[in-house]
Amino acid sequence: MARHLVLKDGTVYSGEPLGADIEAAGEVVFNTGMTGYQEILTDPSYAGQIVLLTYPLIGNYGVNNDDFESSQVQAAGLIVREAEGSPSNWRSHGTLDEFLKSHNKAGLAGVDTRAITKRLRSAGVAMGMLTDGSPDGALARLGESRDYSEINFVESVSTSSPYAWGFSGREAVDEPAGEYACKLVVLDLGLKYNILRRFSALKCRSIVLPQSSTQEQILGWKPDGVVISPGPGDPKNLQRAIETVHGLLGKVPIFGICLGNQMLSHALGGKTYKLKFGHRGSNHPVKDLVSGRVTITSQNHGYAVDRESLAGTGAEIDQVNLNDGTVEGLRHEGHRARSIQYHPEAAPGPWDSRPYFAEFIETIGKAGS
């Protein structure tokens, strides 16, 4: 039985079924990373998207119980050239196909992923559907569906209630805190677990709050600093969260990551725009304009900060992408706020930018002195 990828412009690619036997719709995007497919699939920033992996062989080391970046598979679907059915790794607990089926997610294998990638690069990302049925029927349903940018995906991926993350991982907020260097509040817009792990390694306890939290609720925890997490979708759909971040400016040190960078930009009076095909992969070079250092970063975003819109806001652009010149980091010294567009926690990806976690903790120390 064939499975089809149908794009909204009517283009059809046919291959083999992978994962669950269901229909899946979403924005079709591509990721250039060679490894980390389990982390990618469980990254909340991929909510509402069908992810195409450009590396041709996926699944060769299987899946395990450790490499989750959230509690479930978040991507709408997966597209690969070849899905390995006999993985070999000491941590493996099953195949990619079994993993997708257990989470009721559809995938597609046996297609020319290079051809699809080239189309997305030239025409831009597009809404698509994975279906075992008629491509014409799928195209008709796509025509009736909402565009990716119209949907607030953050509401569906954020935690519904507060929880804490400490030395032993996730825990109740009222559990004994232990000896920590600082307490952070993390506004969950689509949080990856490895962000919490990195702060825990620096002896910080994180209190994770829902995306609807107000500035009063956040400050009520008396945090030493606030982290604005990554997440999916168009930041312009998050006006409540933007107002919350705006209300925190100057009251507590702020660190924004990925979507958090865009949220800080909006809170300062800036704007964002949609990229043609986004930045998704583990090999994006970024230059720090203050230190002159270049790091290779892990990225996953489809929107970017409008450089010109920051004029007069007091924000300083301090990092840029060396591939296309887009804004990769900004800071506002007066508000003790800074943010970066990429993922310093990686998972997957290189560890070059991990020092920015420690830099934020140092900022907190200065703020408290």
Q: Which two tokens stand for residue 95?
A: 């195949």
Annotated catalytic residue within 182, 258, 284, 328: 258
Angle ∠(258,77,263) on CA atoms, nearest 5: 20
How many CA atoms does the CB half-sphere of 336 hold within 13 Å?
A: 21
The yes-or-no answer on residue 246 being catalytic is: no
Q: Which two tokens stand for residue 147?
A: 């565009």
Q: In terms of Cα–Cα distance, which of 364, 366, 344 is closest to 355? A: 344
Alpha-carbon gap, residue 369 to 363, rounded angstroms: 10
Q: Which amino acid is at 290?
A: V
Q: Is residue 113 a contact partner of residue 52, using CB atoms and an 8 Å limit? A: yes
Alpha-carbon gap, residue 32 to 52, rounded angstroms: 9
Annotated catalytic residue within 266, 279, 335, 343: 343
Give one DSSP letter per residue of 277-336, joined into a string. EEEEEEEEEEEETTT--EEEEEEEEEEEE-GGGGTTTT-EEEEEETTT--EEEEEEGGGT
Helices (H), ranges, the chain: 37-41, 96-102, 113-123, 135-144, 154-157, 193-201, 215-220, 239-248, 259-267, 355-367
Alpha-carbon gap, residue 130 to 16, rounded angstroms: 11
- Pairing between strand 225-228 and 182-187? parallel
Annotated catalytic residue within 39, 69, 328, 345: 345
The yes-or-no answer on residue 345 being catalytic is: yes
Q: In terms of Cα–Cα distance, which of 159, 260, 155 is closest to 209? A: 159
Distances (CA, A) of 217 to 162, 186, 222, 226, 345: 11, 12, 9, 12, 26
CA dihedral 15, 102, 83, 116 (to 10 degrees): 50
The yes-or-no answer on residue 258 being catalytic is: yes
Give one DSSP letter per residue of 176-203, joined into a string. ---S-SEEEEEE-SS--HHHHHHHHHTT
Catalytic sites, residue numbers: 258, 343, 345
